[in-house]
Chain A
């Protein structure tokens, strides 16, 4: 794993993407350097997952250019995916493989044939020993998420793309994953993460971007983005996306009606 901090691992120029009449991304410019823990935030439907899917070669950009680890997209999509780890938006490992088998499948698909030690390591890490022979379709959402995380980490990639990695995990495992990701960065890895969990992201991310309606509204460190009056990422986020949570005193929600109450 190269550790040159000046080396850009993700370069995006004037990237745009539309789905029919919906503009998911509009002229996005971004550069992420090696060793960064980069957080990507925005409201629902802002374009976060679309960007992550373009950068991992899952979909093609509409306009502009993108490269990952020096590989141009979309032509180098397979090569990019062979060198990065991806945790997708939905925790959906194959229904009829066990967790143990899925990790072995991932290793073989990545050309690693002797991976028993790695499989055991990640099964132990996620405390899935009791469930390693359970079919993925019969696992809880949390277990499936652990399997997807294990599948992204198991080949020790240079770069991780994480879409809501903490979703469905209990607080203990959220903490365990945070510690692992810190260690991963310390060892020279790079992370691109989308998340709505701003408190966790604030503790982890070295730099961040906020996107809304397909446009980047701000990029920088938290210190660079926040004003003197703002305490944390949540307030920065609210200001930048220009929306406020409705005031419950001003806008009272409808009174719930309990039948027979």
Chain B
């Protein structure tokens, strides 16, 4: 099976999978929507540039791409999960080695290549086209936009390759994974605290962005190639899973959720799923990682880029709330839900049970993170406001996500119509909270009043959308 043929077949598979959930038109229009969004952001950039500075904006873009690459690159997890759980009754070309004379290493390599190209062409290229289209209004130099495309691609490649490698290491040895993860995080934290070297040495594409040093780009691409090649070599060709016997304890877990009425059986099942699939660990990582990157970003700005503005814990409160969407997305990604079609429930019941689980999970994780950040920054007086902002944005964002995407968050967010609604509903409050948090010194007590108004609006919209979840998803089926 030639590489090109398999690559094309996987592209078709990806496109048809996306189209099967939304419409062909929506899937095709997705890059166009991204281009339009990039155009709008670019045209309004001068306002943001005055406040943040161009370096900060560029760093934010690279940080976002690092997170994006890390989030979507865990192919070895995904591959194993696809084969073990069959994702309902859909099967994928990735599983071909089970019946055809080709190796898993080969199909994983092609799958990695397909995803890399898919993301570059479906997201990075449209974003660049949007920036290019804004040139008559913004006066950006064509060369700097083209340069940004290459550095963005290099950062994304770096992150996705590293994530692929980490997931392959995990599948071979969880101890090795933990050791490697602790080493990398330790290296970043220690070098940050001691200011041994700057962020550009850890993520060379960022150095290339700021210095234009081609050696930095070469280093970034070389490291990415080493990561991905190593990841492919670590992919096991025998996908055997041990038969797992556990202590059945459903009734005991259900008893812990007795106060949740009709949602009790589903919450107990969700909890067991989270534990047994190790999703709770992945979920905490997926939730904490963006916040760690954000913290590193804060540290980098504080130490290397001269700026008067620092992120306060109120700003973090808002960010923690927004990152909570990831948790809801993971909750929908643990297992297929086709068997619910035989149960006396409807999709809104399961959506609501996932929302309850979200609140249970985030209350602990988010509060802990915010308290730790407050301690580090010594901003205890801001903690109460930060907590209010965090809970308001958390609840708002998860309700918006649940309302718009139901049980298929990862898929519906690629639907143009849904994504555009999601963008409008999330960007406006995000910008409002960011602006208010950053303008705290300038606005004084008026910032608190304005923030209170924003939080009340978010709470009101959350309640309205929550009530409409029943109507919106009542007729949805559990089957793919």
Contact = CB atoms under 8 A, between A and B. Distances in A.
B345 interface: yes
Contact of A152 (B88, B89, B338, B342): B342
Interface stretch (A100-108, A183-191, A228-236, A244-252): A100-108
Main secondary structure of the interface of A (DSSP, over half): mixed
A98 interface: yes
A74 B338 CA distance: 18
B341 A96 contact: no
Given A92-B86, A108-B265, A138-B243, A101 B342 contact: no
B339 interface: yes
Interface string B236-260: 0000011111111111001000000
Among B88, B268, B343: residue with most chain A CB under 10 A? B343
B54 interface: no
Contacts of A96: 272-273, 276-277, 334-335
Contact of A88 (B243, B277, B338, B346): B338
A56 interface: yes
B254 A94 contact: no
B471 interface: no
B335 A81 contact: no
Interface residues of A, number: 42
B250 A137 contact: no
Contacts of B123: none
Contacts of A94: 269, 273, 335, 339
Interface in B268-313: 268-269, 272-273, 276-277
Given A90-B88, A95-B335, A109 B268 contact: no
A101 B339 contact: no
B344 A82 contact: yes
A131 to B, nearest CB: 8
Contacts of A74: 475
A94 to B, nearest CB: 6
A151 B339 CA distance: 10
Contacts of A59: 477, 479
Contact of A134 (B244, B335, B336, B346): B244
A238 interface: no
B341 A56 contact: yes
A78 interface: yes
Interface string B311-353: 0000000000000000000000011101101111110000000
A198 interface: no
A151 B272 contact: no
Contacts of B246: 98, 133, 135
Given A58-B341, A81-B343, A92 B336 contact: yes
A135 B266 CA distance: 17
Nearest to A161: B342
A93 B272 CA distance: 14
Main secondary structure of the interface of B (DSSP, over half): loop
B85 interface: yes
A77 B346 contact: yes
B84 interface: yes
B407 to A, nearest CB: 14
A148 B338 CA distance: 12
Chain B contact-residue range equals 35 or more
Contacts of A182: none
A66 to B, nearest CB: 15
Nearest to B343: A109
B150 interface: no
B190 to A, nearest CB: 37
Contacts of A78: 344-346
B457 to A, nearest CB: 34
A58 B477 contact: yes
B85 A95 contact: yes
Contacts of B247: 133
Interface string A64-76: 0000000000100
B265 A92 contact: no
Contacts of B475: 60, 74
B339 A88 contact: yes
A58 B273 contact: no
A176 interface: no
A81 B245 CA distance: 31
Interface in B422-480: 475, 477-479
A204 B477 CA distance: 31
A133 B245 contact: yes
A67 to B, nearest CB: 17
Contacts of B338: 88, 90, 92
18 contacts: A58-B478, A59-B477, A78-B346, A81-B343, A82-B344, A90-B88, A90-B338, A94-B273, A95-B335, A95-B336, A96-B277, A97-B272, A101-B248, A108-B265, A109-B343, A109-B345, A132-B248, A137-B84
Interface of B: 84-86, 88-89, 241-251, 254, 264-266, 268-269, 272-273, 276-277, 334-336, 338-339, 341-346, 475, 477-479
Interface of A: 53, 56, 58-60, 74, 77-79, 81-82, 85-90, 92-98, 100-101, 104-106, 108-110, 116, 132-135, 137-138, 148, 151-152
Given A95-B84, A95-B277, A105-B265, 11 more contacts: A58-B477, A58-B478, A60-B475, A78-B346, A87-B342, A90-B88, A92-B338, A95-B336, A101-B272, A133-B248, A151-B342
Q: 6 closest Cβ contacts across the A-B interface?
A: A82-B344, A101-B250, A108-B265, A86-B342, A96-B276, A100-B248
